[in-house]
């Protein structure tokens, strides 16, 4: 597919993919990368980074590095799990509403508006508080079921514009069934929007999960970056000078967010050639500098 | 002295691995008051040349060193930003293909004129209004339209207003890039006839770009034919029509179905 | 004139938009018929109603007055199996070669889908051969073109594939909506010749919609000139073009770029000096029909 090959040539995409792959590999091989257990006291409290403990220890004597790499699993699972649910629901409902129109459109719009109007984070706080100590799975499900509305809107409006195109009319004239038109004529032209929606949703899920746990609504027994932030905050890590306790999960979250954002920019650039700047202009800039031409 | 003097113009589009030569060493002149047509099919480089004269290109376009564009003796490629701003609209004005869509939809017609006149000459509102009325009269549009918004007018009217705005600062050269392609044939005729009359009255030159060779012969003094970045033939209109020198020109004529007389080289309808 | 009966006919069809009091007739009392092996050109400016006529035949719009007939029987109220037959019998070639093919699918997909839908008996190798045969018919090399995506082909090639796709279902009627107006000049004749050849070989009934009258002369035996929803002049192409009687037709013809007549020679064209009046009067509803010749009629313009 032309889109994929272009994506692979894009520098932003490559950097993003490499970082993401690195994080995923670290998460997958976590048990092999550290001999410590993430939940056992293996050192003295708040020890700075050393050869024994690469990122130091927490207030309770746990190894920060071990907790970090095990925590990656939870963050990735929740992020991609919830992100997938959000993107799936959003895309399916969006295409249905946009293509079918009429009553189906009205009904989907009604529910979308309903979910859109309800403020996301407060709703999550209420549900999480109600459930008590929400495990990452519960958080992922809650996120998946409440955050799809924006995606439906975007997908629907793009579907509306694609529906007018001649090749869709041609497929209708040939007698293609509706589901085939939605799946094979419209959807392939939505891939960049769906991709951006998906990755955006993953970023959103990762950050929101961390937020909920940081605020104390998560299950304190899980090992995740959000809980690490929660523990570090409770231990007043920064005030006592144990910066590694707080900054490690911060840095990890930032890195994950960065890699996903780069991939998103790359998809956008590939889908919309007018956004291409930077690396693709390197050659042009060189030629102008040596005086081969001007604008 | 020629109004426009293009010499050895070469323009490339720089890609990551290759360079596309959009315009290859093109040279031509336009005399004061002359109507010059530039014809060719898509991708031949005619629009690229038009953009270059107003320095409207963006990267990755590149005007190669050695190219020269002179308007009324001034080197256009050497102008800095300030001089360019004064140069545009005053010396050279441009009408684009869907120019009727380049009117600001939230400004009334009067405000569009005021925008241009005030920016370039510091004209006051009342003075701008008078000048706008004058210009609208030139293109046969009733002055009550000054308070209308673009969407309230037809495509042909909007195109005429764009032309009127172009004439606002009495430029010496007007470049028109397929100005009537999106319009109906009768409206096209009206607009071009009007431009021709204005040209005789006000004395500006016109660089007219289109793929419609028959239309060009009707209205141009001289015509240049472009093929893949090169100017393959330049001659006066009647010669281009009756005695084309280049194979490509002949091929273009042969590809046009005629309304009267023999259909074309291949008469296929029974 | 052949004595076969028409495949498609519009019988006094009108299409109205807007509410009572501010109604616009996109098509007003339009009647015409399409015969096998003949092309009917529908000529008009934008807003004339020619696109509305195409949409009525494609059943995107329903007539507000009058009937659409397929082989003599009204289409409205047909059984769903008859409607299926109709949908297969009438195919369209679109104006824009860039948007008429799905950018995400190869040429092979575009040709095999209609074959799969309408000739289910063909399987595997037989279907591939049928697709290749379609490409040869439109003068494209199957081996070269089959695996390509639309953006890898030129405008002319894309239009040929559109035509091949339309032919894949063995239609009886082709609606060609400005099929060459977005193509380069040197490529247009090739496409028009192709349409002519297909029409003759396959006995297709073709409706050729255009604003470019000269091409209408090249492909069509019969012609209709539309303005403001009405057909103002119609008949045999040669008759209408060499002896136009309606002022609007004469206006249209005199505005067509003719390299033999410079702008300065406007003394020849009195219509061009009277454009406002001709437009105004031609828009008025006129039900009278006057015959000029055996196959040449006009709706006289009110004075």
pLDDT, one tens digit per residue, over C118-140 is 888 888 899 999 999 999 999 99
* Cα distance between residue B30 and residue A226, in whole Å: 71
Do C259 and B42 count as a contact with CB atoms less than 8 A apart? Answer: no
Over residues B214-231, the mean pLDDT reads: 93
A29 contact B CB<8A? no
B79 contact A CB<8A? no
Least confident of A275-289, B177-191, C123-137, C252-266: A275-289
For CA atoms C277, C280, C283, C287, the dihedral sign is negative
Do A293 and B15 count as a contact with CB atoms less than 8 A apart? Answer: no
Residues of C with CB under 8 A from a CB of B: 45-46, 184-186, 188-189, 192-193, 196, 211-215, 217-221, 237, 241-242, 251-253, 255-259, 261-263, 266, 272, 275
pLDDT at A1 (0 to 100): 52
| Bridge-based pairing state of the strands B205-210 and B35-39 | parallel
Q: How confident is the model at residue C19 (pLDDT cuts 50, 70, 90)?
A: confident
Strand ranges (E), chain A: 293-294
Do C193 and B268 count as a contact with CB atoms less than 8 A apart? Answer: yes
Kindly give the residue spans of alpha helices, DSSP state H, lying in B74-172. Answer: 81-87, 109-121, 125-138, 155-167
- Are C192 and C212 contacting, i.e. CB atoms less than 8 angstroms apart? no
Range B64-67 contact pairs with CB under 8 angstroms and sequence separation of 24 or more: B64/A292, B64/A293, B64/B10, B64/B11, B64/B12, B65/A291, B65/A292, B65/A293, B65/A294, B66/B8, B66/B10, B67/A293, B67/B7, B67/B8, B67/B9, B67/B10, B67/B11
> What is the pTM for the complete model shown?
0.83
Nearest to A166 among C94, C104, C149 (CB): C94
| Bridge-based pairing state of the strands C90-93 and C173-177 | parallel
Element (H, E) at A149: helix A149-163
Report the percentage of chain A scoring pLDDT > 90: 35
Average pLDDT score over chain C:
89
Q: CA B136: distance to chain centroid?
A: 20
Q: How are strands ordered across the β-sheet holding C222-227? A: C90-93, C173-177, C205-210, C39-44, C222-227, C230-236, C296-298, C290-293
CA of C261: which chain B residue's CA is closest? B218
Q: How confident is the model at residue B270 (pLDDT cuts 50, 70, 90)?
A: very low
CA of B194: which chain C residue's CA is closest? C263
φ/ψ of C188, rounded to 5, equals -60, -45
- Are A252 and A72 contacting, i.e. CB atoms less than 8 angstroms apart? yes
Report the percentage of chain C scoring pLDDT > 90: 53
Closest CA to B193 of B206, A119, B182: B206
Do C186 and B212 count as a contact with CB atoms less than 8 A apart? Answer: no
- State the DSSP code for B238: H
Q: Convert the pLDDT of each residue in A133-144 to its tens digit.
A: 778 888 888 888
Question: Which chain C residues are closer than 8 Å to A169 by Cβ?
Answer: 92, 94
Report the percentage of chain A scoring pLDDT > 70: 95
Question: Which chain B residues are closer than 8 Å to A292 by Cβ?
Answer: 62, 64-65
Measured from the Cβ of residue A212, the count of other Cβ atoms closer than 10 Å reads 25
Nearest to B16 among A283, A291, A292 (CB): A283
Do C101 and A185 count as a contact with CB atoms less than 8 A apart? Answer: no
* Cα distance between residue B100 and residue B108, in whole Å: 14
- Are C15 and C52 contacting, i.e. CB atoms less than 8 angstroms apart? yes
pLDDT at B264 (0 to 100): 62
* Cα distance between residue C261 and residue C241, in whole Å: 17
> Which portions of chain A are predicted below pLDDT 70?
1-4, 273-280
Which A residues, 133 through 162, put their C-beta within 8 Å of a C-beta on chain B? Answer: none
A287 contact B CB<8A? yes
| Bridge-based pairing state of the strands C39-44 and C205-210 | parallel
* Cα distance between residue B239 and residue B227, in whole Å: 18
Which of A274, A283, A286 to substitute to test the interface with B, most B CBs within 10 Å? Answer: A283
B78 contact A CB<8A? no
Q: Between the CA of residue A288 and those of A285, B56, B59, C5, what are the distances in Å?
A: 5, 16, 10, 69
B61 contact A CB<8A? yes
Do C217 and B259 count as a contact with CB atoms less than 8 A apart? Answer: yes
Q: Convert the pLDDT of each residue in B4-16 to its tens digit.
A: 999 999 999 887 7
pLDDT at B234 over 90: yes
Q: Cβ neighbours of residue A291 under 8 Å, at least 6 residues apart?
A: B65
Average pLDDT score over chain B:
88
A290 contact B CB<8A? no
What is the CATH class of B33-56+80-254? alpha beta
Separation in Å, CA of A267 to nearest CA in chain C:
16
Nearest to C99 among A166, A171, A173 (CB): A166
Tokens of A19: 């970082």
Tokens 């708040």 belong to residue: A46
Q: Where are the domains of chain A?
A: 2-289
| Bridge-based pairing state of the strands C8-17 and B74-75 | unpaired
- Are A98 and A160 contacting, i.e. CB atoms less than 8 angstroms apart? yes
Tokens of B161: 């207003």
Over residues B20-44, the mean pLDDT reads: 93
Measured from the Cβ of residue C81, the count of other Cβ atoms closer than 10 Å reads 8
Tokens of B56: 């409207």
Separation in Å, CA of C99 to nearest CA in chain A:
6
Question: Which chain A residues are closer than 8 Å to C104 by Cβ?
Answer: 1, 188-189
- Are C192 and C215 contacting, i.e. CB atoms less than 8 angstroms apart? yes
Over residues C235-262, the mean pLDDT reads: 90
A2-289 CATH: 1.10.3720.10
User: Coil, strand, or helix at residue B9?
Assistant: strand
- Are A191 and A176 contacting, i.e. CB atoms less than 8 angstroms apart? no
Q: Is the ipTM of this complex over 0.90?
A: no
Q: Which CATH architecture has domain C8-298?
A: 3-Layer(aba) Sandwich (3.40)
Using only the alpha carbons of chain A, give its radius of gyration.
23
Over residues C211-238, the mean pLDDT reads: 92
Phi/psi zone of residue B225: left (φ > 0), alpha (ψ -120 to 50 degrees), beta?
beta
Q: What residues are paired with B92 via a beta bridge?
A: B88, B173
Question: How many A×C Cβ pairs under 8 Å?
Answer: 47
Report the percentage of chain C scoring pLDDT > 70: 97
Question: Which chain A residues are closer than 8 Å to B14 by Cβ?
Answer: 283-284, 287
Dihedral angle over CA of C49, C50, C51, C54, nearest 10: 120
pLDDT at B269 (0 to 100): 34
* Cα distance between residue C287 and residue A54, in whole Å: 93
pLDDT at B187 (0 to 100): 85
Do B219 and C262 count as a contact with CB atoms less than 8 A apart? Answer: yes
Over residues B147-168, the mean pLDDT reads: 88
CA of B215: which chain C residue's CA is closest? C257
Do A2 and C151 count as a contact with CB atoms less than 8 A apart? Answer: yes
Task: Note if the bond before C278 is cis, omega within 30 degrees.
Answer: no
Q: How confident is the model at residue B119 (pLDDT cuts 50, 70, 90)?
A: confident
C-alpha triplet B57, B61, B62: angle, nearest 5°: 105
User: Coil, strand, or helix at residue C223?
Assistant: strand
pLDDT at C104 (0 to 100): 86
Q: Where are the domains of chain B?
A: 33-56+80-254
């Amino acid at each position: 597919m032309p889109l994929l090959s272009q994506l692979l040539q894009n520098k932003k995409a490559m950097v993003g993919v490499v970082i993401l792959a690195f994080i995923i590999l670290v998460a997958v091989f976590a048990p092999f990368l550290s001999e410590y257990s993430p939940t056992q006291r293996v050192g003295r409290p708040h020890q700075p980074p050393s050869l024994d403990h690469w990122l130091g220890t927490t207030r309770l004597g746990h190894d920060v590095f071990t907790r970090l790499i095990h925590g990656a699993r939870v963050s990735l699972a929740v992020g991609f799990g919830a992100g997938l649910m959000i993107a799936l629901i959003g895309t399916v409902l969006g295409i249905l509403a946009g293509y079918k129109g009429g009553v189906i459109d009205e009904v989907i719009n009604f529910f979308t508006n309903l979910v859109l109007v309800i403020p996301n984070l407060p709703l999550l706080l209420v549900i999480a508080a109600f459930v008590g100590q929400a495990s990452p799975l519960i958080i992922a499900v809650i996120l998946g079921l409440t955050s799809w509305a924006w995606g439906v809107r975007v997908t629907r409006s793009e579907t509306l514009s694609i529906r007018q195109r001649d090749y869709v009319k041609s497929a209708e004239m040939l007698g293609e069934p509706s589901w085939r038109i939605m799946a094979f004529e419209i959807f392939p032209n939505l891939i960049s929007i769906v991709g951006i929606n998906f990755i955006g949703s993953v970023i959103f899920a990762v950050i929101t999960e961390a937020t909920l746990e940081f605020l104390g609504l998560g299950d304190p027994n899980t090992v995740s970056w959000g809980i690490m932030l929660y523990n570090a905050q409770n231990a007043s890590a920064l005030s006592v000078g144990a910066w590694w306790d707080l900054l490690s999960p911060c840095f990890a979250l930032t890195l994950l967010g960065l890699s996903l954002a780069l991939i998103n920019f790359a998809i956008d650039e590939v889908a919309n050639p007018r956004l291409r700047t930077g690396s693709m202009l390197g050659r042009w800039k060189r030629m102008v500098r040596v005086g081969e031409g001007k604008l | 002295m020629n109004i426009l003097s293009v010499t050895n113009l070469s323009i490339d589009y720089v890609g990551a691995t290759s360079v596309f030569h959009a315009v290859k060493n093109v040279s031509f002149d336009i005399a004061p008051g002359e109507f010059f047509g530039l014809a060719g099919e898509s991708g031949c480089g005619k629009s690229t040349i038009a953009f270059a004269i107003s320095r409207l290109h963006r990267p990755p376009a590149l005007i190669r060193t050695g190219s020269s564009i002179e308007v009324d003796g001034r080197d256009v490629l050497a102008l800095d930003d300030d001089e360019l701003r004064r140069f545009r609209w005053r010396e050279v004005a441009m009408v684009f293909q869907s120019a009727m869509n380049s009117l600001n939809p939230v400004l009334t017609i009067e405000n569009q004129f005021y925008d241009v006149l005030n920016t370039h000459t510091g004209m006051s509102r009342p003075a701008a209004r008078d000048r706008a009325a004058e210009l609208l009269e030139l293109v046969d549009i009733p002055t009550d339209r000054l308070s209308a918004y673009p969407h309230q007018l037809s495509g042909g009217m909007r195109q005429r207003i764009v032309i009127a705005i172009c004439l606002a600062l009495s430029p010496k050269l007007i470049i028109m890039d397929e100005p009537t392609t999106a319009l109906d044939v009768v409206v096209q005729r009206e607009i071009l006839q009007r431009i021709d009359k204005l040209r005789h009255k006000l004395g500006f030159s016109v660089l007219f770009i289109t793929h419609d060779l028959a239309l060009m012969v009707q209205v141009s003094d001289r015509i240049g034919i472009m093929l893949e970045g090169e100017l393959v033939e330049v001659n006066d209109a009647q010669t281009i029509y009756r005695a084309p020198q280049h194979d490509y020109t002949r091929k273009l004529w042969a590809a046009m179905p005629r309304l009267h007389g023999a259909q074309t080289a291949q008469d296929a309808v029974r | 004139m052949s004595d076969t009966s028409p495949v498609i006919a519009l019988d006094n069809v009108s299409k109205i938009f807007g509410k009572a009091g501010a109604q616009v007739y996109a098509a007003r009392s339009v009647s015409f018929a399409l015969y096998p092996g003949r092309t009917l050109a529908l000529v008009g400016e934008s807003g004339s109603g020619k696109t509305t006529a195409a949409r009525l035949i494609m059943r995107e719009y329903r007539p507000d007055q009058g009937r659409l007939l397929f082989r003599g029987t009204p289409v409205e109220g047909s059984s769903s199996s008859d409607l299926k037959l109709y949908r297969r019998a009438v195919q369209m070639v679109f104006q824009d070669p860039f948007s008429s093919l799905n950018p995400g699918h190869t040429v092979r997909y575009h040709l095999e889908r209609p074959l799969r839908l309408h000739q289910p008996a063909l399987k595997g190798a037989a279907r591939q051969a049928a697709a290749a045969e379609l490409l040869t018919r439109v003068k494209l090399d199957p081996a070269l073109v089959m695996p390509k995506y639309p953006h890898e082909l030129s405008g002319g090639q894309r239009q040929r594939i559109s035509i091949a796709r339309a032919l894949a279902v063995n239609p009886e009627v082709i609606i060609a909506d400005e099929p060459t107006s977005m193509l380069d000049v040197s490529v247009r004749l090739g496409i028009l010749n192709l349409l002519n050849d297909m029409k003759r070989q396959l006995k297709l009934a073709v409706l050729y919609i255009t604003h470019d009258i000269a091409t209408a002369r090249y492909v069509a035996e019969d012609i209709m000139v539309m303005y403001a929803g009405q057909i103002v002049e119609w008949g045999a192409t040669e008759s209408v073009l060499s002896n136009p009687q309606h002022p609007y037709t004469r206006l249209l013809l005199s505005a067509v770029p003719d390299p033999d007549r410079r702008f300065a020679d406007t003394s020849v064209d009195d219509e061009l000096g009277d454009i406002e009046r001709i437009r105004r009067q031609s828009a008025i509803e006129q039900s009278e029909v006057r015959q000029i010749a055996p196959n040449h009629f006009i709706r006289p313009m009110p004075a």
